[in-house]
Structure 1
Amino acid sequence: MIRRPSAPQPARRITAAICTYQRYDLLPGAIRSALDQSLPAEAFEVIVIDNSPDADLSARKAEAFGAHPNLTWRHEPRPGLSNARNVAAGLAAAPLIAFLDDDARADRGWLAAIADCFDAFGEKVQVVGGRIRPWWGAARPGWLPDSMLGDLTVVDLGDRRRLLEDGEWVAGANIAFRIAALEAIGGFDTSLGRNGGGASLLSAEETAVTDRLRARGGLVAYDPDAAVEHWVDPDRLTQAWFRRRAAWQAVSDYLRDPKARLAQREASWAATKRYLLSRNPADRTLRGLALEQQDAGDFRWQVSAVYNAVTALLGGLDERDDL
C-alpha cells in the first residue's frame, strides 16, 4: 500500500526512485546519473530507498549526497523491493515516478523522455518503459542467444515511441508510473519481488502491477529515448544462473496468476518430456536439466524445460506410467 503525505508538496514534474539493498559499489553511479538529468533541477527529484540492514552505514553513505537539495535518502527497515517501491511512491512530490535499478545508469534525457511520453499519450497511458542496454561485466558467452537477453533485463522494442501490444513488456530496471494509478490499485504487491539479497530471484512485481492497470483500461507505452544501461554481473553469465532464474520465474508467474499456470500444467509437462526424450538415455532425469550445453539453441531449450518442469510441479503434476 502507498501512503502519501497529507501536507501539500512542492510542484515537480517527475520523481526518480532508486531502491537498493547493499549495493554501495554501484549505487553511487546510479544516483549520479539520476541527478545529472537534462530537466531543470526544480522539475524533478531523486529518492533513494535503502533496504540495507545497517541503518548507521546507510546514513554514512547518504552523507556523500547531502549537498543535493532535490535528493531524499530514506532508510527503510522493512525488507522487500515491492515495499520499497511503495515507500518511494508515498514520498514522491510529483505525479509521475520512474524507477531505476541501483546497478543501472540513466542517460541524461531519461526523465525528460519519460515525462514527455506520458504527456504525448495522455491520461490513458499509466505505464512507460524505455530501452535497457546491457553494461557487460564480462564477455558475453557464445552459448547465450539473443532470445535470452531479456533474462538479463535487456529491452529494445525499436526506435519509435509507441503503445505496447499484447505480449510485449517493459522491465522494472527502467519503468515509470502515474502515481495516482498506482494508488488506485493499492501499489505493488509485497508478496512478489526480491526480498533481501540474491538467495531469492522472485520477480514479476512490476508485471503484476502493469497487468492490474491494464485490466482497468490503462495503457503501456515505450520510449526508446528513455534509455539506461544495466549492469550485467559476471555471476549471472553462467548457465547455472539462467537455469535458476527460469525456476524462480516459474514460481513468480505462478504466484501472479495461479489459474493460468494450473491450466498449463499438462502442456508444460509434455514440453519437459519432449526435451528430456531428446537427450541421451542417461540424461533423461534431472541431470538432463542441469548439464552444461555448448549450443545456444540447446541451452535455450534446456532453460525452457526447467521453467516448464517447475510450472508442472507447482500445478500439482500427477504423472502415471503409460501402461
Structure 2
Amino acid sequence: MTEQPPALDASHVYICVATYRRNELLTRLLRSLSTEPIPAQNVIVVDNAPVPAAEATVKRALPLARYLHQPQPGIGTARNTSLDAVPTDAQAVIFLDDDEYVRPGWLAALLDCADSSGAHVVTGPVTPEFTGEEPAWLEEYGYVRRTDRPTGPWLSATGRGGQLRYRRPATNNTLVRAHWFTASGFRFDERFNFSGGEDSELFDRLLAAGADVWWCAQAQVVEVVPQERATKEWLRARAVRGGRVRALKMQAKGTRGGALAVRLAAESAVRIGYGSLRRAQKHLRRRPVTYTDDYYVCEGVGMAQALLGRGADEYARSSRRS
C-alpha cells in the first residue's frame, strides 16, 4: 500500500449478517454485539427465509439493528442485500455468520489491527464450541483450522520475485475496507447462491485486484457447532461440496464445454489419486488418516459429480437447516 488510510471510526463501520431460521443462535450473536462499541443501527441483518422469520428476534435482541427481509433464496443474494444497505460513506464492512458470537473486545481488536496495519482485509480466529461432547477424534483428524498464529500479514507463500501471496479469508469473522463495495462495486457472485463458496470466490477476486490480508489474533469469534456437524461424515460431505464449488469457479472464470469436461476429469483423477496415495501411506505406517488426506479424495469426488451433473447444493432451500 502506498498510503496509510485514515483511522476507522466505529460509527462508520457496518456489520453484515445473513440468517436463515436460526433465531436462537442469532439472538446470541446480537446480544454479544450489544456490548461492542458500535451503533446498533450499523448492524444489518438480512433474513433469507421465504416469509419474515427473524424480525421479532432482532427487535428483542438488538432493537436498533436494521432488519431486512430478502425472500429470494440464495446465500449470495442475501449477502448482497446487506451490502446494498451499506451507505456510501462507510469506512469498513464486517461479515459474521449467524451461528457465531463475538468475544468481548472483538471489535476494538479488529479495528486496531486494521488501523495499525492499513490492510484492506483483516480476519480473525473462529473457535468451535460444540453443543455436545467434543469428538475424541478431533485432535488427530484435524477439524479445526489453526487459530494460534500471531497477528500479522496472513501469507500463504512468497511468489516469484518476492511477491507476497495472501491467504483467502471467509465471511465468518472478516473486516473489509468499504471502498471495495461502495466505490469499486464488488459483490458476491449469485451463481454460487446454493452451492456455497460465494465468499471464497469474492475474496479470490479481491486478492487478484490487489487487496492485502492481515490476521488479528485478538479478534476472537466463537462458532456454535451442533452435534450433527461434529462428525467425520459431515466433514467429508463438506469436502465433496468443495469440489463442486471448485468446478463452478472454473465455469465462472470462463472455462466451458469440452475444455471444462477435460479439466474436471483430469483434476478429479489427480486429486482422488493423490488423496488415496496419502491414505494408503498412512495405513502402511499405522498413522491416523487426517482430514487433509480425506479432503483430496472428497474434493476429487465432488469435481467428478459436477462433471456428471450430480450432487446436492448445500444451500438449496430443501437442504438448509433451521
Q: TM class by shorter-chain length?
A: 0.7 to 0.9
Tell which deviates more after alignment, 267-276 or 82-91.
Answer: 267-276
Question: Residue type matched to 1:180 in 2?
Answer: H
Question: Residue type matched to 2:192 in 1?
Answer: L
Question: Residue type matched to 2:170 in 1?
Answer: A
Q: Establish whether residue 113 from structure 1 lines up as the match of residue 109 from structure 2.
A: yes
Structure 1 position 96, deviation (Å) = 0.8
What is aligned with 1:159?
Answer: 150
> Which residue of 95, 106, 109 corresponds with 2:91?
95
Label 1:191 to 1:74 Cα distance change in 2 as closer, same or farther (>3 A): same
- In structure 2, C-alpha distance between the alignment counterparts of 1:277 and 1:159, rounded to whole Å: 33
What does residue range 131-146 of structure 1 map to in structure 2 within 5 Å?
A: 131-145=125-139
Deviations 1:209-240 (A, max 9, x none): 11111111111111111110011111012232
Deviations 1:42-94 (A, max 9, x none): 49821111112232x4333333146x43x111122122222222221222243
What is aligned with 1:239?
Answer: 232
Label 1:118 to 1:277 Cα distance change in 2 as closer, same or farther (>3 A): closer
Residues 12, 43 of structure 1: 8 Å contact kept:
no
The 3-state SS of whatever aligns with 1:224 is: coil
What does residue range 177-192 of structure 1 map to in structure 2 within 5 Å?
A: 177-183=176-182, 184-192=184-192
Deviations 1:21-41 (A, max 9, x none): 00012110011112211x2x4
What is aligned with 2:56?
Answer: 60
- In structure 1, C-alpha distance between the alignment counterparts of 2:11 and 2:109, rounded to whole Å: 15
Label 1:225 to 1:298 Cα distance change in 2 as closer, same or farther (>3 A): closer
| TM-score normalised over the length of structure 2 | 0.74
- In structure 1, C-alpha distance between the alignment counterparts of 2:170 and 2:213, rounded to whole Å: 12
Label 1:77 to 1:109 Cα distance change in 2 as closer, same or farther (>3 A): same
- In structure 2, C-alpha distance between the alignment counterparts of 1:157 and 1:251, rounded to whole Å: 30
Structure 1 position 161, deviation (Å) = 3.1
The 3-state SS of whatever aligns with 1:32 is: helix
What is aligned with 1:321?
Answer: none
The 3-state SS of whatever aligns with 2:143 is: helix
Deviations 1:157-209 (A, max 9, x none): 5122334333633232111212221342431111115x4xxxxxx22212111
Label 1:221 to 1:279 Cα distance change in 2 as closer, same or farther (>3 A): closer
Residues 145, 297 of structure 1: 8 Å contact kept:
no
Label 1:240 to 1:192 Cα distance change in 2 as closer, same or farther (>3 A): same
Residues 152, 216 of structure 2: 8 Å contact kept:
yes
Residues 41, 66 of structure 2: 8 Å contact kept:
no
Structure 1 position 142, deviation (Å) = 3.2
Q: Percent identity?
A: 26
Query: Which runs of no fewer than 5 residues in structure 2 stay unpaired?
Result: 1-8, 157-164, 281-285, 309-322
What is aligned with 1:224?
Answer: 217
Question: Residue type matched to 1:136 in 2?
Answer: F
Residues 272, 305 of structure 1: 8 Å contact kept:
yes
- In structure 2, C-alpha distance between the alignment counterparts of 1:229 and 1:175, rounded to whole Å: 13
Residues 168, 203 of structure 2: 8 Å contact kept:
no
What is aligned with 1:45?
Answer: 42
Structure 1 position 273, deviation (Å) = 4.3
The 3-state SS of whatever aligns with 1:113 is: helix
What is aligned with 1:13?
Answer: 12
Structure 1 position 274, deviation (Å) = 6.2
The 3-state SS of whatever aligns with 2:42 is: strand
Equivalenced residues, count: 278
| TM-score normalised over the length of structure 1 | 0.74
Query: Which runs of no fewer than 5 residues in structure 1 stay unpaired?
Result: 1-9, 196-201, 281-293, 317-323
Residues 135, 229 of structure 1: 8 Å contact kept:
yes
What is aligned with 2:171?
Answer: 172
Question: Residue type matched to 1:228 in 2?
Answer: V
The 3-state SS of whatever aligns with 1:297 is: coil
What is aligned with 1:289?
Answer: none
Label 1:296 to 1:21 Cα distance change in 2 as closer, same or farther (>3 A): farther
- In structure 2, C-alpha distance between the alignment counterparts of 1:277 and 1:212, rounded to whole Å: 33
Question: Residue type matched to 1:158 in 2?
Answer: R
- In structure 2, C-alpha distance between the alignment counterparts of 1:25 and 1:180, rounded to whole Å: 33
> Which residue of 241, 248, 252 corresponds with 1:255?
248
